[in-house]
Structure 1
């Protein structure tokens, strides 16, 4: 039986809503202008929920941040 370690809920490279890779350019050490989020509208309600999860700002993934 293998035991997997829990996902770190403060990993800046993980979406705070679904814990998948958020593909954040800044978290990867790149310029903010290179990030996918600069070219789309982020759903404000999703961002607000994300900011209340652990008190740390983490970027959403494209799926969770996409406007409805």
Structure 2
């Protein structure tokens, strides 16, 4: 599995850790992830890659972060 892409839709997940920027926290560290999105993952997909903001249901949180 590619850690830089969302396991649900295959689009870039914007994970700073997977992109090699371990000195900055991933957007998901501060976001509230929709529990229904996590339930859509298969056991094999869990803990392998971040969801993208859209699939995580956290688009508003990421857009707010971009304004800072």
- Bin of the TM-score, shorter chain as denominator length: 0.5 to 0.7
Q: Structure 1: how far apart are the matches of 2:57 and 2:24?
A: 18
8 Å contact from structure 1 (residues 40, 66) kept in 2: no
Count of residue pairs the alignment pairs up: 56
Unaligned runs of 5+ in 1: 1-9
Q: Deviations over 1:4-43 (max 9, x none)?
A: xxxxxx1110101110000111111223852111221001
| RMSD after superposition | 2.0
- Report the TM-score when normalising by structure 2: 0.67
Unaligned runs of 5+ in 2: 59-68
Q: Does 1:60 align with 2:51?
A: yes
